[in-house]
Structure formats: C-alpha cells, structure tokens
Structure 1
Amino acid sequence: MLFKNPNATNSPYPTKLATVLNQETAHKSKQWLSTWPLLSRCATPLRSMTGTARALGINTLWIKDESKRSKLGSFKALGAPNALINLILTHFPTFEADKILLGKYREQLADFAVVSATDGNHGRALAAAAQSSGCPCTIVIHAQVSQEREDAIAEYGATMVRITGNYDESVEEADRIAKENGWIVVSDTSYEGYTEIPRDVMQGYGVMATETAEQLEAQEQKPTHIILQGGVGGLAAGVFSYFWEQYGVERPTFIVVEPRQADCLYQSAIQGKPSAATGSVDSVMAGLACGETSQIAWDFLQPSVDYFTLIEDQDAIDSMVHLAHSKYGDAPIVGGESGVAGLALLTKLAKLTQLNALSLNADSKVLIVNTEGATAPDLFKELTGISAEEIIAKQ
C-alpha cells in the first residue's frame, strides 16, 4: 500500500523546524558521542549495492549499514545516549558533555534515575549509556518483547519490568513509574507536554545523517530518493530534517515504510494529524511495532515525506535472506528484521512492477538504511539460515 502525501512541500527548510533540529546541533552531538567507547571510532559503511540496483532496474542503491555502529547492534546507539547527555547537562550544567559517558561523574549521578519503555534497541542503548555514566536505569518491556531481547538489555545493568500489554501500554507504565518514584522518562516518542527528550533522541540520529552526507559528498553523489523506517517517526524526522536543510528546494524524494499492522504514520498522513495504527501492531519488525505517532516527529514528517508505504512481515524476512546470502553478488550484510524495511519495499514494488509509483526509474539513486544487525541473534539465524558471525566472516 502506498499513500502520496498531499502536504509534502519542496520549500526551503523552515526556520521554525530549524530551531528544533538542525545540522549544527547534529555535528555537536557527533562530537559528544565520539568519546564513548561503545561506539565505533569510524563512520559506519555506506555500501554500494551494485548487483541489487541492477536487478531492481535503478541506477544506484546505497545502504548505510548501522549494524557496524556498535556492539549494541543498531542506530539507537546514537539517540538515547545523546538524549541522556543533554538531560544530564540540564541538571548539571558544569559537567563536560564529552566526559559524561566516560563515567567521570559517576558519584554525582548515583541517584539520577532514568526509565523508559522499549521494543528492544532503544532500551538497550539507554541502559548502556546509563551504565557508562553511572545513572540507575529501569526499562519497561511489553508482552511481545522476546526473552532474548530482554536479556540483551539486562546485560547492561538495567532493572527490567515486563507488562502484559503492548508497546503503547509500556510507554504509559514507564510514565507512571517515573511519576511514582520521581525519576525521569527518556523516551524516543513524544506526547502532550513531553517533547524535549524525544527531540534530543532525534538529534542523535542526525549523527548518522552527518556521516552519510560526508560520504556522499566524497563520492560527489546525491540521492534522488531516501527511504527510511517508520516506527514512531523519530529516525525519519532526524535524518530527513538534515537532508532537507542541506538540499532545500532540491531535496530528494522522502519515503517512509512501516509494517502493515503498525501503520501509525501512514494513518497520520491520511488523517493529516498524529494518529494511531489500525492493526495489531505486533510484527516481526519489532523495532517498528509502534501504535502511536510521535507528535514532535510528525511536525517534520507531515511537510516533508512524499510517500508513506506499508510492507508485510514476509517482505522483511525475504530481504533479510537477500542481504545475508548476497542474492545479487553484493557484499553480505547482517540486516535485522527492522533494518531491511527499505530494501523490502523496493523489492516488493519491483515484483509488482510499481517502482514508478514512487517515481523510481533507471536514473534513480536511492539511499536506504540498515538500522540494525542481529539484535536478536537466535531469531536472525532462524529466519536467514545463517548466523551473523558467519556473514561477518564473509565480509
């Protein structure tokens, strides 16, 4: 399914939005995070998928590979830590930002407790950042979060709370726990009266955009299309805003892709306001299994995203196999369930001979992001028939 957004504009990047997310702050976040030992010292690879591009019938396909960002396994390693740094600085303004995640202020932060709900990756990143800085951390997970993902979060010292409901109910529970204990919620989704921390999470994702822009400039290339995963909308807002500011009226075509059963952004586009998903929300694409649109993210997505699209779980699984087994001779990639959404959309539309619905053709240069690696290693091997370690050995 595909919806062309009637509110999308090719105007210059609005000043009002630039006061919230901008390139200057993204570069500052990059500097702050550069000292954290859990992050790679190098930019994640921007891989040119020549064989896949040829099979799809487009000129170029780049995939920004966030599986290489950190042992945490996903792009979320940029968002929650950036938000935690900003949060700590608001309470301890004399602290040096680039030393917070080095644990320099561990004693002062011993009672500075944070809490968040998660499907897995955001909570793991927050738990790791909290452990590094010395903050106590509690993570709320819902019924569909696997034991494997829970264990991966708990590894970083977080106190785990599991509820019987879905993701949106876990968000409510995290808010309740915070109010009851006087703790602070560090969430990647915004709601009424809660925008600053989600803003800082999104700004952290701008680090990825900064790297990508530099890598493309080094190749003297510019994408015609950028496809990003949906979720609550934070990733898309953080990255699209960067490229909108960079290219202005000549920005690429922006496309969002979601699981069919977790279509909150798609429904928001149809209704013209932040809306809820219409499906069960549960998806193999766990990181995208979100039922409520982030209000602050929607401020950026409504005027910029040209197309909102939906895929099935099987589309994602097929694309995981595609990348893992080098289907068209490209380098193998550890693409997780949510990480492959952009490729899944392209492959689906190519099979239906509907790439032209997104104005894709033989001249198109498309950027997608593999947002996670094997963040659930057992599930990854079950779905692809190969382990992440075997793929890395082939790389």
Structure 2
Amino acid sequence: MMKISLVRAARNPEASRTLPSLPFEKDGMDIARSTISRWPGYAPSPIRDLSDLAAELDLGKIYFKDESVRFGLGSFKPLGGAFAVSRALSRYLSAETGEAEPDLASPQMKARVVNLTVTAATDGNHGRSVAWGARMFGCRCVIFVCSSVTRQRKDAIASYGAEIREVDGSFDDAVRLAAKTAKDEGWFVIPDTSDGETVEAPRDVTQGYMLLVDEALDQLRDEPPITHLFLQAGVGGMASASAARFWQAYGAERPITTIVEPEQCACWYESLVAGEPVAVTGDIDSAMAGLSCGEVSLIAWPVLRTGADFMMTLSDDAVPVMMRYLAGKGQDARPVIAGETGISGLAGLVAAAQDETLRKELGLGPDSRVFVVNSEGDTDPEAYKTIVGKSASEVLEQ
C-alpha cells in the first residue's frame, strides 16, 4: 500500500458549525449556474468512485470530483476566471447600453468589447481560464506569470490569444503587478484572490467555483450525506467555495472540513493558527504548483476562518506517489488523470487516514463518505509524462 506522510496537522481553534454571512452576491449561485450552463461544451464534471482506495483506507466512500475534463481546459478554473470575465464585461455593457442582461455572444456586443482588456496573474490554470474566456467573449487579454510557471503552461495560455508578461518573482508579486497595471491602463483585472481592495472580480471567481459542489450535490442526491471534505488550498478560492456550498446545503451538519497545503507555502495553516491572515514568505514554490501562494484571499478568509475544522501540510514527495497511483489501472474508476495540484486533497486524505492520531481526531472510519476534488489533469503534459512515465493518452489506453 502506498504511504503518504503528513508534515503538520492541527485543529482550527475558531471552527464553528454556524454559517457566517457569506461574502457573495445573494443570487450569485443562480447567476453562475445559468451563465456557465449555457456555454458551448458545458457538462457537469464526473465523480469518480475510488472504491479500491476506500477499501485500503477502511473508509466507506471516496467521491473524487474530476475536473480534468472541464471544457477541455483540464481544470476547474473556467468556472471562476472565465465566469468573472463574463461578469466584468456584462456590467460594463449594461452601463453602456442600459440592457440588464446583455448577450455577450451577439455581434453587436462583441464589437463593443473588442478594444477592452482583461488581465490576471497566474501560476498556470487561472490565467488559462481568463484567456479562454477573453477569446470566447472577444476582448483583449494580458496575463502576468510568475517565474515558476513552466514554458508549457505559458504556451497553453498564449494559445488562446493572450499576451504573456513574465514577472521576476512569486505569484503574489505577479498579482500586485497585474493590479497596478490594470489601474494604470484602465483594464479589467480578474484576480482569483483578494487583498481587500479588489473585491468584485475575485468574488465572481469564487461564486463560479461554487458550481462545482452544486453539481456534486445533484449528482449525489441519492447517496447518504458527505461526512468529510479534504480541500487543497492555495489562496483559498476553490476551498472556500466548496466549503460554503456544502455549508449552505447541510447547515450545522456540514462535513468535517480539512484544508491541505504544501508545507513551504502553508499560508492557511499559519493564518488559521494565528486567527488572522499571515503571509508566508521566502521560497514558496511547490511541485503542487497551483498551491504556491503565500497569502490568503480575503474573500475566502471569512468562510474558512470558521469553516475549516482542521489544516494539514504535506511535502512535495506526495506528488509522484499519488499521480502514479491514480494513473494505475484498478477495479474502480482508475485510471484517473490527475496533475501535480489535482492530487493534493486526495493525498491529504491518505495521509490523514494513515496517521492513527489524526484519523481518530477526524472521525475517519468505515462509515465515512469523503468528497475530494481532482482540481486539474495534465495541464503540463511534459511534467505529467516525466512524473508518471506515460502520457495521459497512454494512461487512458490501459
């Protein structure tokens, strides 16, 4: 049986069963659902039943929401970045034309946005999503990438027509430069994190992510309730969106929620222990590239401050172990294509279930029904093949 070792784990002292006032629009979920479901190629991402792993870990069920097939982009990110682009353009066009719900697909509206520019900072998938949305709606796009972003990820973003600007620094440095440039140039900035000043777009991003769990609630409507969530957290967008949507659906009976991060960039771990946002500095690059963030999003903070029950950190050693396991053929839903960040939540579950003390604290056992998200597939095909030893297509041909 594979072994994943945790580095640190702790209970969140501020965890609560009471749903806070969420930092979202009242009808945000409805808007996200109605908007995204109309896009070409939309379909709910599948849930993979990892029954082999559940049996090995002596758990009841592991539901693995597989975002590797979302819109052909290989991650959950289009639900956020592209949706936020649509909201920014819709608000602009409403103000210009007086139409409450402008049709972004119409030639008249495309003519109005062709000279507008959207921008974002990225460590890979968010920038790709924003660029994809900009191409779909017909506006210009500039993406700032931090120094750790691989050439393949840059090329994937550029393939949607975006201009790439490289930043000599971290993801957080790229976020700040994108915001400053947008302000100076009069562009629309579409960050997936909030510093408290830019709120509207990151709120839209997070509301779009909530569709992921909204789909799952429908897909699992005939199943017993979920008991545990293991959610990877970079800035916290997907984690807060997922926790919030389950909280809305389950109320005080919400699942026990654990935040999973790489040890070197555990800004959520440090912040939840401190009871306030804490920035992690230094070398924060991780093999789990999408989680290489040193600062929590202030949109996500009010949700996870009390909505996360536990937090844990892993070393990068978990990446090849989990990726290869999921690429193997099993008696269950495997093989599943999962990238370096995609495996993080599942790796956290494995580490927790194999640690006797944490397993007991979390109440993991044969009756546990665990929800985890495969947040990306082979979004860097070269890295995937190097780690797994086969390309995604070769894995799926097994």
The amino acid of 1:131's aligned partner reads R
User: Equivalent of 1:9, from 13, 16, 26?
Assistant: 16
Matched length: 387
Is 1:57 the counterpart of 2:58? The answer is: yes
- The structure 2 residue matched to 1:373, chosen from 372, 377, 390, is 377
Residue of structure 2 in register with 1:86 after alignment: 87
- In structure 2, C-alpha distance between the alignment counterparts of 1:113 and 1:390, rounded to whole Å: 39
Cross-structure match for 1:382 = 386
- With over 3 angstroms needed to count, the CA separation of the structure-2 counterparts of 1:327 and 1:104, relative to structure 1, is farther
Corresponding residue number in structure 1 for 2:303 = 300
Contact 2:93 2:102 in 1 (8 A): no
Counterpart residue number, 1:76: 77
Quick check: 2:195–2:297 contact (8 Å CA) kept in 1? yes
Structure 1: where are the runs of 5+ without partners?
none
Displacement, 1:327? 5.7
* 1:225-264 matches, cutoff 5 A: 225-264=228-267
Aligned to 2:5: none
Conserved 8 A contact 1:263-1:278: no
- Whether the 8 Å contact between 1:63 and 1:369 is mirrored in structure 2 is yes
Per-residue deviation, residues 266-295 of structure 1 (Å, max 9, x unmatched): 111011111112552101111111111101
1:171 has 2:178 as partner: no
1:340 to 332, 340, 343: 343
Contact 2:353–2:364 at 8 Å: present in 1 too?
no
Q: Cα distance 1:277–1:151, how it changes in 2: closer, same or farther (>3 A)? A: same
TM-aligned CA deviation for residue 104 of structure 1: 6.0
- Structure 1 residue aligned with 2:270: 267
Q: Residue type of the partner of 2:342?
A: G
In the alignment, what sits opposite 1:113? 117
> If the length of structure 2 is used for normalisation, what is the TM-score?
0.93
Query: Does structure 1 retain, via aligned residues, the 8 Å contact 2:67–2:374?
Result: yes
1:47 aligned to 2:26?
no
Alignment RMSD, CA only? Answer: 1.8
**Residues 153 and 20 (structure 1), Cα distance of their counterparts in 2 relative to 1, 3 Å cut:** same
1:205 is matched with: 209
Shift of 1:329: 4.9
Q: 1:10 to 1:116 in 2, by over 3 A?
A: same
Shift of 1:316: 2.2
- Alpha-carbon distance between aligned partners in 2 of 1:145 and 1:125, rounded to the nearest angstrom: 15
Give the 3 Å change call, closer, same or farther, for CA 349–252 of structure 1 in structure 2: closer
Deviations 1:75-94 (A, max 9, x none): 00100111112111221115
In the aligned structure 2, how far is the partner of 1:198 from the partner of 1:283? 23
Structure 2 spans left out of the alignment, 5+ residues: 1-7
Q: Deviations over 1:107-146 (max 9, x none)?
A: 1001211111000100000001001111111000011100
Deviations 1:160-204 (A, max 9, x none): 100111111111111221122111211000013111111100000
CA contact (8 A) 1:49 1:330 kept: yes
Mark the CA change 1:366 to 1:78 in structure 2 (over 3 Å): closer, same or farther: same
* C-alpha distance in structure 1 between counterparts of 2:108 and 2:225, whole Å: 41
Q: State the alpha-carbon separation in 2 of the partners of residues 342 and 389 from structure 1.
A: 24
Percent identity over the alignment is: 37
Q: Deviations over 1:347-370 (max 9, x none)?
A: 223443342232211211100000
Contact 1:89 1:95 in 2 (8 A): no
Give the superposition deviation at 1:27.
3.1
Distance 1:309 1:327, change over 3 A: farther
1:252, distance to aligned residue in structure 2 (A): 0.8
Is 1:194 the equivalent of 2:201?
no
Question: Is 1:154 aligned to residue 161 of structure 2?
Answer: no
> 1:115–1:186: 8 Å Cα contact kept in structure 2?
yes
Match of 2:224 among 221, 244, 254: 221
State TM-score, norm by structure 1. 0.94
| Contact 1:231-1:258 at 8 Å conserved across structures | yes
Describe how 1:274-313 pairs up with structure 2 within 5 A: 274-277=277-280, 280-313=283-316
Residue 75 of structure 1 aligns with an amino acid whose one-letter code is F
CA contact (8 A) 2:42 2:71 kept: no
How far does the alpha carbon of each residue in 1:213-247 deviate from its partner, in whole angstroms, 9 at most, with x for none?
A: 00110x33211001111000111111111110111
Residues 297, 75 of structure 1: alpha-carbon distance in 2 compared, 3 angstrom cutoff: same
